[in-house]
Amino acid sequence: MQKMQKMRKLQFILAVSVLCGGVLFLPEAFGQKKAAPKKAAKVEKAENVPKDVFKEIKAQFPPRNMDPVAQKRILPARMQKVLELGKDAETKYPKAENLYQVQTIMLHAAGYLARQKNGKVTEKQYQEIADKILTSNAPVEDKVNTEFIVLSREVLANKMPEQQMGKKLEGLVKKYEKTPVAPKVLINAVVLSYQTKNQELADKYLDILKKKYPDNPDTKELIAAIDRMPKAGGKTSGKIFEAKLKTLDGKTITMPKDTKGKIVVVDFWASWCGPCRRLIPHLIKFHDKYAKNADVMIIGISLDKDEAAMKKYIKDAKIPWAITYTGKGWGDPTVKKYGIDGIPSVWIIGKDGKVVSTDAAGNEDKIVAKLLAEKPTTPPDKAGKPGKSASAKTPNKPAADKDK
């Protein structure tokens, strides 16, 4: 499954809520005559999709802390069951006002099965489920979520050409520009553009947001996140990485003070995160390669809340590097400070204490090798200010010594 995302207001994935009872309208018998009432007649309502149906559907999704291998093994059958239960609800409650919520869950299940390319769900069937939501009585915000779930899949999974994506985004912005969700559409357009590294489109829609909706809370949150995250064109790259971390054995690591002169790979992760677990073997190989190099180290910043489950996983996976933990999950001070919106998120900090990369997962070896090959610089001072290049001129040495 894809990388786990946290940015609740900026993500594309719709959190599916479970509604109880409620009733829908049933028309009166055709042709029945009656006197015109002074007030609008109280209409009888039909049954909504019951809470128990949602409960059974939700039960098909495995818990977050399930072992990724076991999860991968059971998911195809579970997602197929979600579709079966959803179709059953469509048959039993065709006019239910909350049926679109069942179909939203079905859309996620169908998306997963379509990615498996095993013939159980085709792209056409996936689109048919999305179309049901878009033509339903779903609130406009839920329709926007569906539009972007589908578009992000086409772009990220099916590799939609950049030009086609631009036209799709333009169409969606125009379609909803006079609705209350216009800011949300623009925000999603910005996020998707950054995810595909399309800086031109991201800047275009961000400028519209700033001009039209400068006081919108979500706009402000997005701009703040971008300023923190260099991978989204922000301002963190090249800045000193500052953090006060506490390891599981009670030691405190203050960066950059305690890591001066070292290249630090910082892994934001959690034991309940499937993609994080899948990355661990790769990081262990990286660790083993540089185990004898005193200039390279790894620090894992855990977003776990369940300390016992985290420690068990660390022991079982034989993770050899320092793990820091606050028990605050997404509320961890370093996580909040640097706007981490999804894990795993691997950052690399240079010997000078500056952020070199915030999107290094899978490329750690290449980036670190390049840093090790560079001419050394003096580590940052106690205030965290970077030193000068070792090859620079100094007052007491002649210029000829600079290359020695």
pLDDT, tens only, 51-108: 999 999 999 988 876 777 788 889 999 999 999 999 999 999 999 999 999 999 999 9
pLDDT of residue 46: 60
In Å, the largest CA–CA distance within the chain is 108
Q: What single string gives the DSSP state of each residue in 272-326?
A: T-HHHHHHHHHHHHHHHHTTT-TTEEEEEEE--S-HHHHHHHHHHHT--SEEEE-
Mean pLDDT of the chain: 80
The full set of domains in the chain, from first to last, is 4-25+44-232 (no CATH), 243-373 (3.40.30.10)
Q: Convert the pLDDT of each residue in 215-227 to its tens digit.
A: 988 888 888 777 6
Residue-wise pLDDT for 313-331, tens only, equals 999 999 999 999 999 998 9
In 252-281, which positions are buried (b, 16+ CB within 10 angstroms) versus exposed (e)? ebebbbebbbbbbbbbbbbbbbbbbbebbe
Q: Are 96 and 48 in contact (CB under 8 A)?
A: yes
| Sheet of strand 322-325, all strands in order from the earlier edge strand to the far edge | 322-325, 296-302, 263-269, 345-349, 355-357
**In percent, how much of the chain has pLDDT > 90?**
55
Least confidently predicted of 130-144, 224-238, 295-309? 224-238
| Predicted local distance difference test score (pLDDT) of residue 10 | 38
Between 211-215, 254-258, 336-340, the lowest mean confidence (pLDDT) is in: 336-340
Confidence of residue 15 (pLDDT cuts 50, 70, 90): very low
pLDDT band at 161 (very low <50, low <70, confident <90, very high): confident
Query: For the whole model, what pTM was predicted?
Result: 0.57
Residue 339 has a pLDDT of 80
Q: Which of 118-132, 249-263, 335-349 has the highest mean pLDDT?
A: 249-263
Q: Show the 3-state SS of 152-219.
A: HHHHHHCCCCHHHHHHHHHHHHHHCCCCCCHHHHHHHHHHHHHHCCCHHHHHHHHHHHHHHCCCCHHH
What digits encode the pLDDT tens for the residues 101-134? 999 999 999 988 988 876 778 888 999 999 999 9
178 confidence band (pLDDT: 50, 70, 90): very high
Is the pLDDT at 183 greater than 50? The verdict is yes
